[in-house]
Structures are given as C-alpha cells and as structure tokens.
Amino acid sequence: MKIILTQEVSGLGTPGDIVEVRDGYGRNYLLPQGFAIPWTRGAEKQVALIKRARSTREIRDLGQANEVKAELEGLQVRLSARAGQGGRLFGSVTPAEVVDAVRAAGGPALDRRRLILPGHIKSTGTYRVDVKLHPEVSASIAVTVVAAK
C-alpha cells in the first residue's frame, strides 16, 4: 500500500514522505490515527505543501541543532498553571504550554511534537523536558511549574 505521511512516524519517515507499507499496517493503524493519507495523484500535489510547512519549522543541520541546544539549556523556563492546595494542578501541563513558556522565556520556536515530557505533569515543581532537535541532537530543559495567583 502506498501512502503519504502527514506526521512523523519513527522508523518510517517524516511528513510529506511517500512510503510503501504493508496493507494491514496502513489500513488499520496509520490511516485511522491520522498519521497518513492514501496516495493518489491529487494527494501527491499536497506533498509539496506539507514539505514546505515542515521546512519552515525544521532545524536544517547539525550545527544549527547544536546552537539551538546551547540556547535551550541556558534558559530558565517558568510555567504558571492553576493549582489547588498542596500544589496539585487542575488538569496537566501539555507540550503546547511548554512551547509557549519556552517562547516567553526568550527561547526559540519549537515544534510541540518534538517534546518528550516525563509522563503527565500534574503538580508544581521542576521537571526535565527533553527536546529532539535533530536525529543526533537532543536537548534537556528544566521547566519549573508554579501555581498561578
């Protein structure tokens, strides 16, 4: 089965890639989860749009990834969230909120899908959040979650 990836799938490819997969894997997993669309000549035209969007937020080479890593690891990221007594949050911290907090701290724009949270962040404190910048480069950010006033 020939498909076009719409999201990054580890071991398979990145958004916009046209790949050949086994019928069951494509039909039962990739298509229902929204990771891919079926390949057609019309859909192949969409590949250019997907690749253009990916290139704007992608880190281009290893040198740039190392620069971004150095910038990220020097940041003091502080995220405020509504919390009850004892520091327990109402809900949990999402990757999109972490990206916004990094941006507010003066860091670079990140793709939320590249963040690896340490499980569900449901209480105040300091957490280590990993960012996969490049296949060979990962950065670690200290995110301090505080109760909003």
For 31-55, how does the pLDDT look when each residue is reduced to its tens digit (9 = 90+)? Answer: 999 999 999 888 877 787 767 766 6
| Percent of the chain surpassing pLDDT 70 | 94
pLDDT at site 9: 87
- Domain positions in the chain are 2-57, 62-147
Find the largest Cα–Cα distance for the chain.
57
- Give the architecture-level CATH label for domain 62-147: Roll (3.10)
Fold of 2-57: Ribosomal Protein L9; domain 1 (3.40.5)
Report the chain's mean pLDDT, rounded to a whole number. Answer: 86
What's the burial of 102, exposed, middle or buried (CB within 10 Å: 0-12/13-18/19+)? buried
Note whether 2-57 and 62-147 share their fold.
no
Q: Is 81 left (phi over 0), alpha (psi -120 to 50) or beta?
A: beta
Confidence band of 7 (pLDDT split at 50, 70, 90): confident
Q: Evaluate the CA torsion angle 130, 7, 64, 95 in order and state its sign.
A: negative
